[in-house]
Amino acid sequence: MTKINWTPELVNRINNELANNKNFPQIAKMLKKETGIRFNKDDVRLGYQRHTDWIEDSETVKPLAKQALSTAFKNVAKAMNSINESKATTDSIDTTQPIEFKKLANGDYSSSRTLNLSDEELRDEATLLKLHGYDPNSFEIRTASNSRNERETDKGTKHSYNSRITVKPKTQLSTADIMQEMYKHVEPIYIETYSLFHPSDTLVVPLYDLHFGIASTESMKESLTNLISLVSRGYHEIVIISGGDIIHSDKITKSETAKGTQLDAVDMKQAIKDARQFYDVLFRTALQSTKNVKHYSITGNHDRDSGYLLNSLLEAQYPQIEHHVGDYRQAFKVGDTGIMLMHGDLATRNAPLLFAQEYRDIWNSTKHHQIISGHFHYDKTTEVMGVELIQVGTNKPNDPYEDANGYIGNNKQLTAITYNTSRMTQRNYL
């Protein structure tokens, strides 16, 4: 260590530089340049700490009087009041020994001072923080080390500790902090309310898997009543979707699917009559509600031929409705929403790609994309890369095949979906 002739003038010079936010390495470099003596940071720090009684300004914090370190020790008087509040007194601090504060490179703070504490007091982290000049609400201890010496006082045996702690600012709220925030008064937010229904909206009615022949006018009565009540509200546009399997059988004289799968016997003449009655009520009510009625139809695995014939008949019977009679897939758009229709038995794995390829104009001119299907007789909604896959259920009664195989858990309901010019706004279960 360099031999230095310590004087009150030199100590007070160092103290003034510390008060001007300079650290020991900077002061050592400055003194070396001015005097030619090989000062280093340890020379300056140790010499300064050993001669703090020479400092003329008694109000100055004697090591590292740096306001930039932390608000926790900007005001010494405030720190001492906190000590009193936690039942720690100034008797706990050995004021004859130097005190040291440091800010470490990682953002933590280090503090060293001599304390007179019992073992029990030492285990109180809040007290220890306050004795070192930190607010327990703002800091937490990372490491602590204490070298102990015993001494007798009028209050019993006390231990004199050379106490060093490393602390870091708290970055998370404690449970008490959270509770305090919860109890604070919150200014109310003004919300402008409005009805979800608007006359400019579009109502889309996806009718999938009605299976007339198993279903009848009587079994459909409740759902149809609810649907008619919704349609009668008045919309800018109503789009009715016949999504396949409207008729249970593809044959008139026998009961089987388009592939020839044998089905439970149904009365096909009555099935066609019930289907026509259902659509007659729905179409007439829709036309009374708005002039803009569209009908998109595709066939299912049960009614490739019979469904196509029924939809062609409806097209001829209601020319005032805009009909789009198709086979496997159809697509249209409502405002910013593009919608593709498929029954759900074919090509479902690549449905979003099919939408983008087969209906590029609709895909490219809309922000939102949906694919509506059925076939499985229960509701399910998923999303694939932003494309919403809406699988709607059915309200038809269980047929003998479903009863035998335990397919009996669906909710027996129809669906109607409302859109504004921007997006889907509401789903109704009927």
3-state SS record for the chain: CCCCCCCHHHHHHHHHHHHCCCCHHHHHHHHHHHHCCCCCHHHHHHHHHHCHHHCCCCCCCCCCCCCCCCHHHCCHHHHHHHHHHCCCCHHHECCCCCCEEEECCCCCEEEEEEEEECHHHHCCHHHHHHHCCCCCCCEEEEEEEEEEEEEEECCEEEEEEEEEEEEEECCCCCHHHHHHHHHCCCCCCCCCCCCCCCCCCEEEEEECCCCECCECCCCCHHHHHHHHHHHCCCCCEEEEEECCCCECCCCCCCCECCCCCECCCCCHHHHHHHHHHHHHHHHHHHHHHCCCEEEEECCCCCCHHHHHHHHHHHHHHCCCCEEEECCCEEEEEECCEEEEEECCCCCCCCHHHHHHHHCHHHHHCCCEEEEEECCCCCCEEEEECCEEEEECCCCCCCCHHHHHHCCCCCCCCCEEEEECCCCEEEEEEC
- For 126-152, the pLDDT digits (tens) are 888 888 878 887 888 888 877 777 666
* 168 contacts: CB under 8 Å, gap ≥ 6: 107, 108, 109, 139, 140, 142
When pLDDT is cut at 50, 70 and 90, the band that residue 86 belongs to is very low
Return the pLDDT at 425. Answer: 94
Positive or negative torsion for Cα 115, 118, 121, 122: positive
> What global pTM score does this model have?
0.60
Which has more pLDDT, 168 or 66?
Answer: 168
Which has more pLDDT, 231 or 303?
Answer: 231
- For 232-243, the pLDDT digits (tens) are 999 999 999 999
Return the pLDDT at 152. Answer: 67
- Mean of the pLDDT values across residues 209-215? 94
- For 330-376, the pLDDT digits (tens) are 999 999 999 999 999 999 999 999 999 999 999 999 999 999 999 99
- For 263-303, the pLDDT digits (tens) are 777 888 999 999 999 999 999 999 999 999 999 999 999 98
Average pLDDT, whole number, for the chain? Answer: 83
Return the pLDDT at 37. Answer: 84
Contact 243, 373 (CB under 8 A): yes
When pLDDT is cut at 50, 70 and 90, the band that residue 63 belongs to is very low
Inform me whether the pLDDT recorded for 71 exceeds 70.
no
Return the pLDDT at 74. Answer: 46
